[in-house]
Structure 1
Amino acid sequence: MSQQIETAKTPSPPAKESEGTHLVREIMSGNAVISVLAVVVALVIGGILIAVTDPRVSAASGYFFADPMATLSAIWSSISEAYGALWRGATYDPTARTWQGQLGIFETLTFATPLIFSGLAVTLAFRAGLFNIGAQGQIILGATFAGAVGFGMHLPPVVHLLVVILAGALGGAIWGGIAGFLKAKTGAHEVIVTIMLNYIAISLVLYLLKNQLKDPNSSNPISPQMDANALFPLLLGPNFRVHAGLILAILAVIGVAWLLNRSTLGFEYRAIGANPKAARTAGMLVSRGYITVMLISGALAGLAGVAQIAGTEKSLDSEIAGSIGFDAITVALLGRSKPWGTFFAALLFGAFKAGGTSMAVNADVSIDIVAVVQSLIVLFIAAPPLIRSIFRIKESRREGVSA
């Protein structure tokens, strides 16, 4: 009898995650040390590539055995000059001739602004167990909606900008909400749906730019310029591109952090992301959670589109999103699916973008090296066991559990 009672009290084992879901969860929720070390290893390998492709190093290596110090000195000079130029271009360069060139930190902040919004979009969706690959399409739709009211209407100052922000958030929310609705109602995989929606968004904006939204004074597929009242104010005057969208991005970080960690809705998202079956058993509406989280995620990505069209580009074209939507995935990975981690990861990638040009011009290093370093960061973040083995780090019991 006692044996039967003990058997009845023994809890049943939790449902196992699929291999794909478990892998993504492990990648996204590891500790911050792994992220930092992944960047360090990527920079080291990037430095090796810089040295290998430098003609000075190749010339010095020809007489390595006669004068090994010359080769080592050439290697050091090549790497230090390249990364020094990258650092100065992203922060402060006292040797530049103009204030704009000296204060590269403001270009870093400008590049980081849309990455913050889009990185938060990917982060929030993941915390609810969804992998939003569609930030690119949501950015495009956000920029399209924002542009349509930005150059198609003339409203008073402040009011016009607020309407543009709301329109951009609405455009992104609609595009993200489609994926959330299909996931909730039909079980369609959000990765496949969002990827397909990216292609639809690209084709849709091209069609609109050739027809309804085309600038009649241009032969290129581009929209008219945004109304002056629809633009984000420049924070430091016309000599710098950093704009008030940065303030909105910081507020978004604070808002998402509060949503996830302090609100009932955020608790539901985290519960759904941890175990949808248990959340459903506890009375949570999982389907509603999928829809609402993708609406909010899409709205955040749409704000990245607003930052582009109302902050830096000022008109709509087919390249309005650049690679921001795909970089957002890397930013969220590096930020370990945490709002403030995403913020600092966006700053890092903004620094890569701002400093990459300086490195190419001042150190004669291909800007593609920056793209290689970014790709290596993704590679090493996606392989935490590799980083642990390189640095002989033991796996913590708490690692892999998202806070």
Structure 2
Amino acid sequence: MDVIPRWADVILIPLFSLVLAALLSAGVILAIGEDPVAAVKMMVNGALGSTYGWGYTLYYATNFVFTGLAVAVAFHARLFNIGGEGQATLGGLGVALVCLDLPWPHWILALPAAMAAAGLFGAVWAAIPAWLQARRGSHIVITTIMFNFIGAALLNYLLVNVMRPDGAMDPATRKFPPGTHLPTLHDILGLVGVPFSKAAPANISFLIALGACVLVWALIWRTRLGFQIRALGHSEPAAVYAGIRPVRIVMLTMLISGALAGCMAINNVMGEAERLVLNSVEGAGFIGIAVALMGRNHPFGVLLAAILFGFLYQGGAELALWTNIPRELIVVIQALVILFTGALDNMVRIPLERIFLTLRKRGA
């Protein structure tokens, strides 16, 4: 029997970790001579105080949902996929090839094809480290992080030497044709009379991300494959004894994980930039690790954690723009959240375990 109830593990531990990170961040802001209360108010107003702010918050959150789900699926099989950055990068390449090379009359036709290409390219990029882990014993952490750099180098070569339009200076593809442009939340909500900022980049990809959360929940907890993934993650010897083939499960899990990371490109490449540029992922693959840890590898928790990090990104941008707080300090604040919700999880967990154990003994 677990010492901490499931609800406390999902809600209390991340909440207390956030409070500790916020207190330490407030101390850092005070140390440079700024007002932490005013800073928080500006972050909240900038990220949540208008539909423009919400649009950017949900745009960032969409990226983090996909990469967070990718990490969470792998975690359930006890696989640490930190290659989301490279898998999302290759997903963007798949989206660009589909959007540029095929004549699409409407986004309704282009979107499923682009999703399939993004998922396929991300899955293929994850399949190689998965095979090396399953067949050769190569550690998944080492191979996936190496493939991040290989993916970045490959995209750099293609954008500079192959896909860049003639006469262009920046390493990027040409703009996607109008038939591939995705509707924004302004367009979608406008259909039901809800006003939303036209300048915000949030688009239909956010709704796809919500659907991905539901599908991952159904996969992990309502299918035979999901049971096999969790069984392998809990105990490989027991899984083998039950007839589960580890090589098959490792490969399938990483294919699904890579496909989820690759689908992030629907949001940032097809939905926002409408062309493929260098560094379009912007670290979202690594943020997905923190999102999965904070969300306890549950799709609903991943969604909440992704919105939180979207808030930090957009609110931090507002702070850097309108105050004397440097952009580097915003990165420090984000790092503190990651530190307390991930690496220093036991700082909160152990005291809570003692409290619940004491309460249990008194109630016995």
**CA separation in 2, counterparts of 1:134 and 1:128?**
16
TM-score by length of 2: 0.89
Corresponding residue number in structure 2 for 1:117: 66
Cα distance, 1:159–1:103 mapped onto 2, change above 3 Å: closer
| Offset, 1:394 | 3.5
Return the match for 1:371 from 290, 311, 331. Answer: 331
> Equivalent residue for 1:70?
none
Aligned to 1:216: 166
Q: CA deviation at 1:103?
A: 3.8
Superposition pairs of residues 58-69 of structure 1, within 5 angstroms = none
How far, CA to CA, are the matches of 2:309 and 2:144 in structure 1?
Answer: 23
Which residue, out of 216, 228, 232, partners 1:272?
232
- State the match for 2:23 in structure 1: 44
Aligned to 1:191: 141
> Which of 291, 298, 310 in structure 1 is aligned with 2:258?
298
Aligned to 2:348: 387
**What CA distance in whole angstroms lies between the structure 1 residues aligned with 2:68 and 2:283?**
12
How far the C-alpha of 1:234 sits from its partner, in A, is 1.2
Identity %: 32
Report the Cα distance in structure 1 between the residues aligned to 2:155 and 2:139, rounded to whole angstroms: 25
Tell me, in whole angstroms, the C-alpha distance in 2 between the residues paired with 1:85 and 1:333: 27
Matches within 5 A, 1:247-258: 247-258=207-218
In our comparison, the structure showing a higher alpha carbon Rg is 1
- Alpha-carbon distance in 1 for matches of 2:60, 2:231: 33
Q: Are 1:150 and 1:230, in contact at CA under 8 Å, matched by a contact in 2?
A: yes
Change over 3 Å in CA distance of 1:124–1:361 after alignment to 2: same
Matched, 1:340 2:290: no
On the 8 A contact 2:10/2:301 being kept in 1, the answer is no
Q: What is the RMSD of the two structures over their aligned residues, measured on CA atoms? A: 1.9
Deviation at 1:192, TM superposition (A): 0.7
Gaps of 5+ in 1: 1-28, 56-77, 94-101, 398-403
Measured at CA, do residues 379 and 393 of structure 1 come closer, stay the same or move farther in structure 2, by a change above 3 Å? farther
SS at 2:264 equivalent: helix
CA-to-aligned-CA distance 1:100-137 (integer Å, 9 cap, x gap): xx641121111111110010000000001100010000
Query: How many residue pairs were aligned?
Result: 339
Q: Distance in 2 between matches of 1:390 and 1:47?
A: 23
Q: Which has the higher helix share?
A: 2
**What amino acid maps onto 2:314 in structure 1?**
A
Give distance in 1, aligned partners of 2:20 and 2:294: 14
Partner of residue 12 from structure 2, selected from 33, 51, 72: 33
Distance 1:199 1:163 in 2: 27
Contact preservation (8 Å) 2:320, 2:330: no
User: Which amino acid in the other structure matches residue 166 of structure 2?
Assistant: P
Cα displacement (A) at 1:288: 0.3
Cα 1:103–1:207 shift into 2, 3 Å: closer
Long gaps (5+) in structure 2: 1-7, 188-197, 359-364
In the TM superposition, what are the counterparts of 1:140-151 in structure 2 within 5 Å?
140-151=89-100
Shift of 1:396: 6.3
Query: Secondary structure of 2:173's match?
Result: coil
